[in-house]
Structure 1
Amino acid sequence: MAWVAIILAGFCEVFGVAMMNRWQEEKKISIILFLILGFALSLALLSYAMNSVPMSTAYAVWTGIGASGGALIGMIFFGESKDWKRILFILMILISAIGLKLLS
């Protein structure tokens, strides 16, 4: 269950980052509330997961999901560069996170 919590925490992190970008485009109170909710839920799930998964592994996987997801959301929804080198490094982050899961 802890690994499910880490993955959900990563997705909540991505949601929070997407809301940060939305806030830059459109200043609405609802966007701030979603931003706060996304990050709060992300940290709560990460905290829960760290009761069973070592902190270093949990944090690395959570950060990897957040960084990769944020970059992918930027490329898909916000018109950021889709250069092959960028995609290669996103894949490297994801492979590293999977490797940490397999080793723990």
Structure 2
Amino acid sequence: MAWIYLIMSGAFEVVAVTGINQIVKHKNLKSYLIVLFGFIVSFSLLALAMKELPMGISYAVWTGIGTVGVTLLGMLFYREPKDWRPIVFIGMILIAVVGLKMTT
């Protein structure tokens, strides 16, 4: 169950960061509420996951999901450049997270 919490936590981090992007564009209450909701849920789920998983792997996976998720959302929905270099680095993040999991 801890891994499910961790994955969901990373997904809600993506929600929160997307809300930050909306704040930059619109500065309305809805955008602020999305950020607040996203981070509250994300940190709460991260805390639940860390009851069973080590802090290092939890944080690495959480930030990895957030980084990969926000980068892909930016490319797919916010017209950010679709260059091959970010894809390579996303792959490196995924390899690093798998490596951490295999060694802990």
Is TM (by shorter chain) over 0.5? yes
Query: How much has 1:77 moved relative to structure 2?
Result: 1.1
Alpha-carbon RMSD across the aligned residues, in angstroms, is: 1.1
Equivalent position amino acid for 2:50 in 1? M
SS in 2 for 1:87: helix
Query: How much has 1:6 moved relative to structure 2?
Result: 0.4
Distance 2:67 2:15 in 1: 11
Which residues of 2 match residues 84-95 of structure 1 at below 5 A? 84-95=84-95
Instruction: State whether residues 61 and 100 of structure 1, in contact with CA within 8 Å, keep that contact through their aligned partners in structure 2.
Output: no
Unaligned runs of 5+ in 2: none
Q: Report the number of matched residues.
A: 104
Equivalent position amino acid for 1:89 in 2? F
Distance 2:91 2:82 in 1: 13
SS in 1 for 2:80: coil
Partner of 1:43: 43
Identity, in percent, stands at 45
Unaligned runs of 5+ in 1: none
Equivalent position amino acid for 1:25 in 2? K
* TM-score under structure 1 length normalisation: 0.93
Distance 2:67 2:11 in 1: 10
Partner of 2:17: 17
* TM-score under structure 2 length normalisation: 0.93
Distance 2:38 2:102 in 1: 27
Partner of 2:62: 62
